[in-house]
Amino acid sequence: MTSSALLHIQNLDKQFLTGKGIVHALRDINLNIREGEFVTVIGPSGCGKSTLLRIIAGLDKAYSGFVGLNGEPITGPGIDKGFVFQEHRLFPWLTVEKNIAADLSLRDKEVRKKVDTLIELVKLKGFEKSYPRELSGGMAQRVSIARALLRNPKVLLLDEPFGALDAFTRSHMQEVLLDIWRTNQTTMIFVTHDIDEAIFLADRVVILKPRPGEISSIVPVDLPHPRKKAGPEFQNLRLHILNQFESAEQSVLKQGTGI
């Protein structure tokens, strides 16, 4: 194990038993993620991106191999792992501040202080008493992110959290998330289908290929922030990752045809 790794994944294999037989979802996944690193995971539908996040979160324990946090095997969900889903999953009967506090009482001074700090962090000051129905999609996801950060997780897992947002809101949310990452220095693993989003956010982009899900390549993103999506360096990196995708797809097609 790499001594500097916060998250260590070694020889991870995951299979599902279906009515049509065994489906090999992930195979031989090996990955180390450093503390404070921002890693994005991309790949076509069915390559096991969400399955990988669920395993890291401790929500899926039926696999072979090793998945550990700070050297200790992950045996189930815990406050050391925050999770943000594509849908915000807020309680409609609770206000913003109570959704963030979740099962903790705002009467507790420490909880109150933490919630107020997070509301400032996700730029929702003035909406503390609002209900989810009164929020835009982007605002609701900011509440979801704040709730996931409440207990200071060692790693924040985000499963396509901006996938349902319009382009303008999505771009704004990317900036908000980067602000949160820089302020809290929380390790983040972000699943997306969007190559531009993956490059814009990440220190490294992990590319998965499907059937079974395997790491095709890991691409470092050595671009300074703020990043300009229309800039030549960004576009060159985008082209490089697209080429990696094409290589992975050709490999899968050859396997499927027996070439």
For the stretch 112-149, pLDDT in tens is: 999 999 999 999 999 999 999 999 999 999 999 999 99
CATH number at residue 25: 3.40.50.300
Give the up-direction half-sphere exposure of residue 145: CA atoms within 13 A in the CB hemisphere: 31
Question: How many CB atoms are closer than 10 A to CB 59?
Answer: 15
Q: What is the mean pLDDT of residues 56-73?
A: 95
Q: How far apart are CA 79 and CA 76, in angstroms?
A: 10
Q: How far apart are CA 90 and CA 227, in angstroms?
A: 31
Q: Is residue 13 part of a domain?
A: yes
Band of residue 13 on the pLDDT scale cut at 50, 70, 90 = very high
Residue 245 backbone phi and psi in degrees, to 5: -60, -45
* Paired tokens of 1: 């194990």
Using alpha carbons only, give the angle 49, 11, 35 rounded to the nearest 5 degrees.
Answer: 65
Contact 252, 211 (CB under 8 A): yes
- Total domains, the chain: 1
Q: Is residue 25 part of a domain?
A: yes
Q: Is residue 141 part of a domain?
A: no
The range of the structural domain enclosing residue 163 comes to 5-80+153-257
Instruction: Look at residue 1 in the predicted model and tell me its pLDDT.
Output: 41
pLDDT tens-digit map of 188-241 = 999 999 999 999 999 999 999 988 899 999 999 999 999 999 999 999 999 999
Q: Is residue 119 part of a domain?
A: no
